[in-house]
């Protein structure tokens, strides 16, 4: 039988170096299921296998949609570089910055866009986008740290959604898996994305 290790999308060491598993000192009841332990300094540590598994599920779900039908929203500045590079490689729409309510719901706005699914980097700062998505009844994927509530989110990806390196790695993996699952590239070797371009200025 396959070992759990076989299923990791990147080596565990790559995950750990990016700190994708480092949570916050605050933990919601819902997020407890994804928490592996609490460090002596009080920081919660997320379960790496669950992080990996849910990135894979999210990539599977996103791959059901064409790039023009997907919107990524990131109010948090640490996610901008990663989200933009993700958008460049996949053709997926990206909204980096403060999302003004109505973009998804008000067809009178110049900025109006129709999409079929959204992914937000944090359910709380990106709540305007989450609310709009709920109004029009499209699925919402959200990166959720240990301090997030899962309300109105359809698929939670547990992870450090605050650090530049963690967000960079996450979007790098998502881009690679999305392109593979859409059969736009045939394997990891064909992926031209560089992790540095997702994190550095």
The residues that touch a second copy, with contacts defined as CB under 8 A, are 1-2, 4, 7, 29-30, 32-33, 49, 52-54, 56-57, 60-61, 63-64, 105, 107, 114, 136-139, 150-152, 154-155, 181
Kindly state the smallest distance separating residue 198's Cβ from a second copy, in Å. 25
Nearer to a second copy, 64 or 111 (CB): 64
Nearer to a second copy, 158 or 163 (CB): 158
Nearer to a second copy, 2 or 37 (CB): 2
Q: Which residues have a Cβ under 8 Å from the Cβ of 24 and sit 6 or more positions away? A: 43, 44, 145, 146, 147, 162
Kindly state the smallest distance separating residue 34's Cβ from a second copy, in Å. 10
Least Cα distance to 27 among 40, 17, 37 occurs for 37
Nearer to a second copy, 60 or 186 (CB): 60
Kindly state the smallest distance separating residue 168's Cβ from a second copy, in Å. 24
Nearer to a second copy, 84 or 181 (CB): 181
What burial class does residue 127 get, using C-beta atoms within 10 Å of its C-beta: 0-12 exposed, 13-18 middle, 19+ buried? Answer: middle
Cα(183)–Cα(192) distance, rounded to whole angstroms?
14
Cα(63)–Cα(188) distance, rounded to whole angstroms?
16
CA 117, distance to chain mean position in Å, is 13
Least Cα distance to 92 among 170, 171, 201, 20 occurs for 171
């Amino acid at each position: 039988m396959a070992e759990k290790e076989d299923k990791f999308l990147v080596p565990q060491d790559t995950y750990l170096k990016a700190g994708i598993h480092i949570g916050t000192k605050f933990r919601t009841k819902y997020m407890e299921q994804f928490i592996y332990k609490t460090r002596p300094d009080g920081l919660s540590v997320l379960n790496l296998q669950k992080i990996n598994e849910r990135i894979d599920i999210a990539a599977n779900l996103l791959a059901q949609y064409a790039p023009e039908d997907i919107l990524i929203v990131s109010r948090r500045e640490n996610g901008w570089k990663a989200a933009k590079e993700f958008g460049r490689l996949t053709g997926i729409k990206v909204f980096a910055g403060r999302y003004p309510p109505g973009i998804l719901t008000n067809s009178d706005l110049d900025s109006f866009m129709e999409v079929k699914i959204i992914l937000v980097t944090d359910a709380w700062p990106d709540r305007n986008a989450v609310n709009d998505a709920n109004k029009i009844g499209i699925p919402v994927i959200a990166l959720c740290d240990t301090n997030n509530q899962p309300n109105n989110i359809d698929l939670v990806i547990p992870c450090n959604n605050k650090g530049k390196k963690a967000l960079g790695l996450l979007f790098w993996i998502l881009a690679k898996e999305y392109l593979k699952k859409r059969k736009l590239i045939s394997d990891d070797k064909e992926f031209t994305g560089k992790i540095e371009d997702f994190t550095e200025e």
